[in-house]
Structure 1
Amino acid sequence: MISVNPVVARPHFFTGKPICPASRTTGATAATTRRRFSPTSANISAKQIVEHVVLVRTKPEVEHSKINDMVNNLYKLSSLPQVLHLTTGPVLRTQSPTLSFTHLLHSRYESTSDLEEYNTHPLHLSVVRNFLFPVIDDIMVADWIADDFSGSVQVGPGSIIRVKLLKLKEGLSENERKEIVDVTKGLKQKLSLIDQLTVGENIAQARTKGFCIASIGVFGGLGAIHALDAQSAALNDQKDGVRRFVEDVVVVDYAVPAKMLIT
């Protein structure tokens, strides 16, 4: 059984600054980092998008009806004007030696300020407090700015989303962190099974558990995921390229449902 701290009602997840361990070479101050990634200064270009992922584990004793209520009310957040895309539901599997999650929420925004407005919207605050926090015992959040975004902002029904989160070792340089991001981005060119891939540094404020590099791969279906996992050579090359920098990894697979369950 994994020991977790109680979930405290603090729904404001976004800060706008990366949470990777401090660089040993750049000497960048926290104030510099805040200026670089603050919601007011990080204006997202047409080729960029802001990803928002929330992973939760529901309490084993919670009634199924209350979990359905959680999912249905989270789906209602897709009606907020800041939201470009939102999907949520049970995960297919979690690959991690230390963590386990039961449900995922993935949404997209044009800018960090839009994500900030979403996080502070009264409907979002109400759903988190009344339907999410009462039924979960663990949570992790990742937000990142995805550069060179291409393709549809919407992720179609039947698609598979693979979320990968990396916790880095202490003392990595800025160039080493950039190498991790670049190696992960390179998978899109090596593996045609990946329909869409975004990668970036986690800028969430809290509940990150120290995982500071995040990525999402979008696949056409389960067959594509199985075929990807069978292509061990390319995947092993990617793992070998970043293994020496990484302390822990979480991988979560999620199937986008065919239709929403809003009632």
Structure 2
Amino acid sequence: MLSLKTLPYLHRQPHSPFVSLRSRSSSFSFSAPTMASAVEHVVLFKVRDSTDPSVVDSMVTHLRSLSSLPGVAHLSAGPLLRPRSAAAAPFTHLLHSRYASKGDLASYAADPAHLAIVRDRVLPICDDIVALDWVADGVAPAPVPPGSAARLTLAKLNEGAAPGQVVEAMAAARAKGYDVSYGENFSPARAKGYSLGFLAVFPSVEAIDAIEGGEAEALKEKVRPLLESVIVADFVVSAPPAASL
């Protein structure tokens, strides 16, 4: 996680609906297949307007180099393609990384290389940072294809709104065939009150544009009354850095 502190963790365990069957001569045990899950880590950066472009490029290059750290299943970093909500407008860059477990995320967060990049390359040029982590059930801890387009949505609930209502809408998006990851944030320290994360991945920028209106708009209308604020931003998944010889 892009933070100088390790944050607390919690995790839901999948329930197995299968039972053991026994006979006089032998015993057979059946168990449900383990549901795949990934730990998602997203960070939005607001780079100071006056920053020299070469310094910004250096920050991005160093962030991408973190993909080589142990336990990192996927890491993409770069400029936002475009903000899709007023709350997203101040942000300029994004990092998305994926892990097989919270332990892997904790190791990444504490790695000296990560801490050095945060200290030397990120904090000196960023006016604001928002970071969320969530467990995405049904998502494999695998890389996202470079060149894919993705839409990140971070939701801050109105007081008294139930997270389950928003999660139901997110689940509906998956049911319609979208490649989505969603969950409740478990790292509040840098989340600025945003408690739910939603990431939808598409094969291209054209594909992400094609979802505007129709069913996507109906989903937005369903959850809009529940939200105090929402950050929506599109980005293109970066290629992993070339290996040095």
Shorter-chain TM range is: 0.7 to 0.9
Question: Which of 175, 181, 195 lines up with 1:189 in the alignment?
Answer: 175
**What is the match of residue 26 of structure 1?**
none
Q: What residue in structure 2 maps to residue 199 of structure 1?
A: 182
Q: Residue 180 of structure 1 corresponds to which residue in structure 2? A: 166
Within the candidate set 192, 212, 221, 1:209 is matched to 192
Deviations 1:82-121 (A, max 9, x none): 1000010011011232342111100001111111111111
Seen in structure 2, the aligned counterparts of structure 1 residues 118 and 220 have a Cα distance that, compared at 3 Å, is same
Q: CA–CA distance in 2 between the matches of 1:137 and 1:148?
A: 35
What value does the CA root-mean-square deviation take over the aligned residues?
2.2
2:67–2:240 contact (8 Å) kept in structure 1: no
Offset of 1:13 from its aligned partner? 6.0
For the structure 1 residues 233 and 10, does the alpha-carbon distance in structure 2 shift closer, same or farther, using more than 3 Å as the test? Answer: closer
Contact 1:93 / 1:252 at 8 angstroms: preserved in 2? yes
Give the structure-1-normalised TM-score. Answer: 0.78
User: Structure 1, residues 45-86: CA drift from partner, whole Å, max 9, x if none?
Assistant: 651110000000111111111111111111111111110000
Does 1:225 pair with 2:208?
yes
Question: Contact 1:13–1:141 at 8 Å: present in 2 too?
Answer: no
Q: Secondary structure at the match of 2:51?
A: coil
Determine which structure has more spread, i.e. the larger CA radius of gyration: 2
Q: 1:185 touches 1:198 (CA, 8 Å); kept in 2?
A: no
Is 1:148 the equivalent of 2:134?
Answer: no
The equivalences for 1:223-262 within 5 A come to 223-229=206-212, 232-258=213-239, 260=241
Structure 1 runs of 4+ aligned residues shifted over 4 Å read: 41-46
1:14 Cα offset (Å):
3.2
Q: 2:85 aligns with which of 72, 96, 101?
A: 96
Indicate if the aligned counterparts of 1:15 and 1:205 stay in contact, CA closer than 8 A. Answer: no
1:114 partner SS: helix
- What are the superposed Cα offsets for residues 8-63 of structure 1, whole Å, 9 maximum, x if unpaired? x96226332xxxxxxxxxxxxxxxxxxxx1xxx66796511100000001111111
User: Partner letter of residue 112 of structure 1?
Assistant: K
**2-side partners of 1:258 and 1:79: how far apart?**
13
Q: Secondary structure at the match of 1:73?
A: helix
Q: CA deviation at 1:236?
A: 2.4
Summarize the alignment of residues 60-139 of structure 1 with structure 2, pairs less than 5 Å apart: 60-99=49-88, 100-139=90-129
Deviations 1:171-207 (A, max 9, x none): 23xxx311211211211222x4x3x201100112322
- Give the TM-score taking structure 2 as reference length: 0.84
8 Å contact from structure 1 (residues 13, 205) kept in 2: no
Q: Does 1:12 align with 2:5?
A: yes
Structure 1: runs of 5+ lacking an equivalent: 1-8, 17-36
Given the superposition, is the C-alpha separation of residues 98 and 163 from structure 1 closer, same or farther in structure 2, using an over 3 Å criterion? closer
The one-letter code sitting in structure 1 at the alignment partner of 2:155 is: L
**Identity of counterpart residues, as a percentage?**
37
Check the 8 A contact 1:72/1:261 in 2, yes or no: no
Partner-residue secondary structure (3-state), 2:46? strand
Secondary structure at 1:56's aligned position in 2? Answer: strand
The answer for unaligned runs of 5 or more in structure 2 is: 15-33
User: Is the deviation greater in 112-121 or in 152-161?
Assistant: 152-161
